[in-house]
Amino acid sequence: MPFIAYLIVMGGVAYLIRVIPLLFVRKTITNPFIRSFLYYIPNSILAAMTIPAIFYVTDNRLAAVAGFAVAMLLAYKRKSLVTVAAGACVSVLAVELLMKII
């Protein structure tokens, strides 16, 4: 299949995922469990896609773990997203450079 066909199918699936709930749910969802479940879905999907990528983006697992630890520490201290990302990148770079020296 050519690339454009894959793109059209992907767009159609993404569109249907957003439209189908609108077709079947006409009134406001009042169930607190379902509302809570739907509230946390974007965060859980983002975590499910991001965390594996963190550990497989570099060949050095120690650097990946160091970057993840620094990101978690900075996020726990409620730093901005740019600060967290920059701190994680700098820590990965530092560990990889240190491993090349050693």
Please indicate, yes or no, if residue 70 is contained in any of the structural domains. yes
Burial environment of residue 88 by CB neighbours within 10 A (0 to 12, 13 to 18, 19 or more): buried
66: nearest Cα among 34, 44, 96, 100: 96
- Place 28 in a pLDDT band, splitting at 50, 70 and 90: confident
Please indicate, yes or no, if residue 93 is contained in any of the structural domains. yes
The predicted structure's pLDDT at residue 27: 86
What's the mean pLDDT in 42-67?
Answer: 92
The predicted structure's pLDDT at residue 24: 85
Please indicate, yes or no, if residue 22 is contained in any of the structural domains. no
Average pLDDT value over all residues in the chain: 92
Residue 42 structural domain: 28-101
As for how many domains the chain has, the answer is 1
From CA 89, how far away is CA 62, in angstroms rounded?
13
